[in-house]
Every structure is written in C-alpha cells, then in structure tokens.
C-alpha cells in the first residue's frame, strides 16, 4: 500500500499564498511589442531572456504567475521548451502557476488536455489551468476530476471583460438562467464543503461594471483587467464586494513594462500588491475569515 500523502488542494495553497505573499497574479505575456520594448529579438532566444527575467525577479515573492500559452506556442517547440522551464522554475521558487490556455473540448481530447496540464508527471504540469466551458460544463469533467486527484485547480471562463463575451455568457438558457450564472452555479457545486477555499474557480473580468451574477462559488475568482485594461485597485471591492478576498487580481503589461530591469519588475509588482491589499481593507467583511 502506498504511503504517499494526498496532495494539498489548490484552493488551500492559493489561500495561503494570497494571504502571505499578497493578492497579486502577474501574467507572463511576451507580446511582440514587449519583446521590442525590452530590446529583445522576436525569436526563441528573446522569449527565453524575457521569461527567465520575469521568473527570476518575481517567482519568490508574488503569489501567482500566469504564463499565456499562446505567446510561447508561436515559437513552436522551442517556445514550448521555454514554457516548460518557466513553469518548473517558478514553482520551485514558491509561486503558484496558472497556465492561461483556455482549453475546452470533449471526451478523449479533453482528457488529453487534462493530462497535459494537470498530471503531475507531465512536463507542463501547473497548479491550475484556465478552461472554456462552451461545449457544455459537463465536457470539462475529465479536467475537473484530474485536478481534484492531483491537488490542482481550474479557472473556468464565466464573465470575461471583452465586449464579445456577453453574446454567449449573458445569453439565457432554457432554464431561465444566463449561461454565466449556470457556470458559476456548477462551480459552486464542485466546491461544496471545501475549506478554506475550493479549487475550482471562475474567470471574471475586473473591468465589468456589474457582474449581475452570484460570484459566491466558494472558490477563487481570477480577475484579469487590472492595469493596462483599465481596472484599478479600487475596483476590487467595487466589482467583487463580499467575495473580494477570494479574488486573484491579474496584472500583466503594467508590471512587465517595468522591465527589463529585475528591480523594476519587482517594484511594480510590490506596488500593485500593496495597493490591492489596501483596497481589500474596504471590502465588505474585510476583517473576517
């Protein structure tokens, strides 16, 4: 009989990281324009230099790093190799890694995506991965089950901040609920009874003026849109209210533009973490559990 201890669930590890390192996720998004601004070539070597600098500067201090897979995939196998090293190095330094891949499919294909990102033996194993539920929430079952087994997590697209998203996410289904509301309700069911925080989260844009849905899913809410997309630290309690403490605020370009200096990157990240922590003090129930 195996004596291996069960892996600690992602939700608990995330709660600890946010509380000890501050409420911040920094996206690793090697946009062509950022590589150019850093004086780097548009090739795998430039990608490697950019990514290594970000990881070395931030992985031992921020709660979460979120590489955007597409910016690595565009360089083919060399780019994926850079991504594999970045994930491993960031996790070794103590950061949680969320792979921003937005995968979504059915059956054996969804099972393969789950194996790629949520199997501890896989080269791209991460603490969590972003998923798309628009082939039906049930199509995500292989990833949900694999994540639970591995102590990993998922973030499912629910209320994104891009204007086009409303066409699908706010559409009303046959049960009278908006699609986003159904996704959030399904996540709440996955997280039922989890303490201190469930491992199955939603992606909810910080730039939304009114989420118009119940965000209390007993799980984390990955919130892109801070910084370059317009959301400020003050929007954290305004948009998320009573669940603001469970939000993982994501900032990408507003931190990355402070490079290529490692000190500049760290200073920008710390400023955002401090501002977001201060904003949380004004959120409903800020003094509670």
Question: CB–CB of 102/65 below 8 Å?
Answer: no
Instruction: Count how many residues are written for the chain.
Output: 289
Question: CB–CB of 242/283 below 8 Å?
Answer: yes
Whole-angstrom CA distances from 81 to 14, 48, 75, 76, 117 are 26, 9, 10, 9, 14
The alpha carbon dihedral of 123, 128, 129, 132 has a sign of positive
Gap between the Cα atoms of 195 and 191, Å rounded: 9
Residue from 102, 238, 253, 257 carrying the catalytic annotation: 102
Three-state DSSP class for residue 212 = coil
Question: CB–CB of 181/227 below 8 Å?
Answer: no
Beta strands in the chain, from DSSP E residues, in sequence order = 25-28, 64-67, 96-103, 128-131, 153-159, 200-204, 221-226, 247-251
Nearest CA to 21 out of 61, 68, 69 is that of: 61
Is-catalytic flag, 102? yes
Catalytic residue numbers, as ranges: 102
């Amino acid at each position: 009989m195996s004596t291996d201890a069960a892996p600690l669930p992602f939700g608990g590890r995330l709660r600890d990281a946010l509380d000890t390192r501050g409420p911040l996720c920094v996206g690793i998004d090697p946009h062509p324009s950022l590589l150019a601004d850093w004086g780097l070539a548009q090739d795998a070597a430039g990608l490697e230099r950019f990514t290594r600098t970000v990881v070395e500067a931030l992985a031992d201090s921020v709660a979460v790093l979120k590489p955007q897979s597409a910016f690595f995939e565009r360089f083919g196998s060399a780019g994926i190799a850079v991504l594999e090293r970045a994930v491993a190095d960031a996790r070794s330094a103590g950061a949680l890694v969320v792979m921003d891949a937005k995968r979504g499919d059915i059956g054996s294909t969804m099972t393969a995506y789950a194996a790629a990102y949520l199997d501890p033996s896989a080269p791209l194993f991460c603490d969590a991965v972003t998923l798309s539920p628009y082939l039906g929430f049930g199509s995500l079952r292989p990833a949900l089950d694999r994540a639970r087994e591995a102590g990993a997590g998922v973030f499912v697209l629910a209320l994104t901040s891009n204007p086009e998203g409303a066409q699908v996410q706010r559409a009303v289904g046959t049960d009278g609920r908006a699609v986003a509301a159904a996704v959030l309700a399904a996540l709440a069911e996955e997280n039922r009874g989890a303490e201190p925080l469930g491992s199955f989260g939603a992606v909810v844009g910080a730039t939304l003026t009114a989420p118009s849905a119940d965000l209390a899913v007993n799980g984390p809410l990955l919130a892109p849109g801070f910084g370059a997309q317009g959301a400020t630290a003050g929007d954290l309690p305004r948009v998320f209210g009573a669940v603001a403490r469970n939000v993982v605020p994501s900032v990408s370009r507003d931190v990355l533009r402070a490079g290529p200096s490692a000190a500049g990157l760290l200073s920008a990240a710390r400023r955002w973490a401090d501002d977001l922590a201060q904003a949380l003090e004004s959120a409903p129930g800020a003094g509670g559990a």
